[in-house]
Structures are given as structure tokens and as C-alpha cells.
């Protein structure tokens, strides 16, 4: 197995899917010769030519183009440079793409992958570039929402998204782009809608996404030295959510902490907790949610003050022990 960074795993998944299926193409701002603003599409233009297409700075336009291409039998992969820029294509994504398969009585399929880059607030990119939008898209029926938390996940889940006949919102985290781990060289696909138990424990269940998974694992190692063993679940797909895996863990531990970087009011965490309450009401002894403050994410170093920390995760866990 190769040691790949998160960014390289994304690049490798794109390369393999472009090679596998000639219907796959990439479109977005600077995805061609520059290789994307964060080099996720580096060198793909040289190898695949016009199947890697630079677009003007017009998200409504090139997302609309992708919808037409998907309906006509293509498999577009759209890159949206910063999460907030997805708002410029909300009519296309929410009012058109999410609804067309239903209102056409399944005559129209939209096998489209929308890659959205989140987490820029960790680099001080400011309030107009730093939102976590996956919670918004989870509330839209008709969209599949994926959050990749490791290089291994990034490759396997992106390949699955591109092969899926549904529109998939694929959220990447910029603060993870340089993280490295072993990634299989062979073709592998991780199923959408299936969570992973990444650490087993008996005291508390922690459900954590993206960078928060990394933070939670570090907190778990610290607590383990005190004899406190927590179970950690990486949901991978937020919609549809693998509530079976989550419920089994919560019924075992009786306590749950849900950690995500969306603001805590009307949040991803609250949506997951509601499903847990439906399935585990009589088994659940205590719960906490950890997320960002209900504020726009400021520029510069202040950005990280709004986002959840390892200390906040540890405090939430300890409060239930």
C-alpha cells in the first residue's frame, strides 16, 4: 500500500475513475492546468484533456451544466472551491437536481458528484469562505451527503460517489488535506450509507466527522491512559445515516457525544441525536453535542476560537462519567 495524503487520495480516486469510465468528467474553477486551488486535480488535465474542464467563476452556470450532462448520460464531478460558493448554486442543487428524479418519475437520473471543500476557517479564510454546509444539504430530500474523514475514506468514498446514480454532495476538509496514511493501491470502494466503528470502548459512544474524528481519537488515547475506554464511530455518510450501527453502540454504552463543526443550533448533531432518541430512548442515560459557536467564522486566528476543540470534546466526555 502507498502512503498517500488526503489530497493525493482524492487525486488518485479521480484519476482511476476517469480511466475506468469515459463518461466521467471534471469541471470547476482552475481544475485544469493549475490542478485546482489545492492541487486535488493536479496533472489530470495533461492525461485526460478536455474531460478536465476549467469553468468561469459562475457556480450556478457550471453546476447547471453538470445537471444537464448528468441527465444526458454523463457522470460529472464538480469541484466547488470553497463551501460558501455552493450557495450560489442553491437553486440548481436544491430546486432542480434534488427534485428532477422524483418529478420525472425516475426517468431522469443524475449521477453527479459535487465536491465541496470545507474547513477553510482553520486557515483564517474568513466568514465568506469557511461555512460547514453539509448540515444544510442533509436537510434536503434527494441528496446523498458524504463526509470523508481520512485519506482511506477519501479515496474509497469518492469512487463510490462517482459510480452512484444519485447526486452526491461530497464534503472534503481542507485541514485534513496533508494528513497521510496507508491507502490500498488496488481498486476499492466504500459503501455509501455505512458507518465505521474506528475504536471500540464501553464507557461512551462518540460520533465524530472529518477533523473532529481525528481530534476524538487523540482525546480517546489520552483518556485510555486513565482507564477510560470510549467507542468512536465515523459515520462517513450523513444522509442516509447508518443508524443501526450507531444505535447498537449507544445501547451498549448508554452515553453519546456527537461532534461536528456545524453550529450547534439546528445542527447535524441535533439531527443525529433525534434519530438516536427514536431508536434508543430507554437505553440512553446521557448525551452531549459539541460543535461551532452560533457565529459566522471570523478571519485570522479568531476563526479557530469559534470552532470546536479537543478540550471541548474531552470536557463533554468527562461530564458524563
Q: Which residues are catalytically annotated?
A: 129
Q: What are phi and psi of 18, to 5 degrees?
A: -65, -40
The cell for 24 is 466521467
* Alpha carbon distance 235, 241 (integer Å): 7
75 in Cβ contact with 51 (< 8 Å): no
157 in Cβ contact with 236 (< 8 Å): yes
The cell for 139 is 436537510
Give Cβ neighbours of residue 163 (< 8 Å, ≥ 6 apart).
Answer: 17, 21, 111, 189
* Alpha carbon distance 292, 321 (integer Å): 23
- Residue 81's nearest CA partner among 137, 45, 29, 151 is 29
The cell for 240 is 442516509
Quick count: other Cβ atoms within 10 Å of Cβ 217?
Answer: 17
- Residue 17's nearest CA partner among 41, 33, 53, 46 is 41
Q: Collapsing DSSP states into helix, strand and coil, what is residue 301?
A: helix
Q: How far apart are the first and last CA of the chain?
A: 40
Q: Collapsing DSSP states into helix, strand and coil, what is residue 199?
A: strand
206 in Cβ contact with 212 (< 8 Å): no
Q: Which position has the grid cell 448508554? A: 254
Q: What are phi and psi of 53, to 5 degrees?
A: -115, 125
Amino acid at each position: 500500500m502507498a502512503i498517500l495524503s488526503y489530497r493525493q487520495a482524492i487525486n488518485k480516486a479521480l484519476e482511476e475513475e476517469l480511466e475506468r469510465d469515459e463518461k466521467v468528467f471534471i469541471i470547476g474553477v482552475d481544475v485544469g492546468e493549475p490542478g485546482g486551488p489545492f492541487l486535488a486535480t493536479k496533472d489530470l488535465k495533461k492525461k485526460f484533456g478536455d474531460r478536465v474542464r476549467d469553468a468561469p467563476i459562475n457556480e450556478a452556470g457550471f453546476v447547471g451544466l453538470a445537471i444537464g450532462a448528468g441527465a444526458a448520460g454523463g457522470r460529472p464531478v464538480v469541484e466547488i472551491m470553497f463551501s460558501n460558493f455552493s450557495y450560489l448554486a442553491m437553486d440548481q442543487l436544491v430546486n432542480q437536481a434534488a427534485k428532477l428524479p422524483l418529478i420525472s418519475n425516475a426517468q431522469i437520473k443524475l449521477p453527479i458528484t459535487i465536491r465541496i471543500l470545507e474547513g477553510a476557517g482553520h486557515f483564517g479564510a474568513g466568514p465568506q469562505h469557511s461555512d460547514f454546509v453539509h448540515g444544510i444539504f442533509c436537510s434536503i430530500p434527494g441528496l446523498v451527503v458524504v463526509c470523508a474523514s481520512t485519506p482511506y475514506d477519501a479515496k474509497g468514498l469518492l469512487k463510490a460517489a462517482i459510480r452512484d446514480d444519485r447526486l452526491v454532495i461530497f464534503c472534503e476538509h481542507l485541514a485534513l488535506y496533508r494528513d497521510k496514511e496507508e491507502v490500498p493501491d488496488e481498486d476499492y470502494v466504500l459503501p455509501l450509507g455505512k458507518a465505521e466503528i474506528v475504536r471500540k470502548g464501553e464507557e461512551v459512544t462518540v460520533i465524530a466527522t472529518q477533523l473532529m474524528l481525528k481530534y476524538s481519537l487523540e482525546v480517546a488515547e489520552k483518556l485510555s491512559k486513565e482507564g477510560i475506554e470510549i467507542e468512536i464511530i465515523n459515520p462517513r455518510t450523513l444522509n442516509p445515516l447508518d443508524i443501526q450501527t450507531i444505535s447498537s453502540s449507544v445501547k451498549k454504552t448508554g452515553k453519546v457525544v456527537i461532534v461536528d463543526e456545524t453550529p450547534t443550533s439546528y445542527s447535524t448533531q441535533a439531527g443525529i441525536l433525534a434519530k438516536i432518541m427514536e431508536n434508543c430512548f430507554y437505553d440512553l442515560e446521557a448525551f452531549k453535542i459539541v460543535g461551532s459557536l452560533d457565529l459566522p467564522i471570523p478571519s485570522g486566528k479568531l476563526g479557530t476560537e469559534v470552532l470546536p476543540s479537543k478540550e471541548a470534546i474531552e470536557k463533554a466526555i468527562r461530564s458524563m462519567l
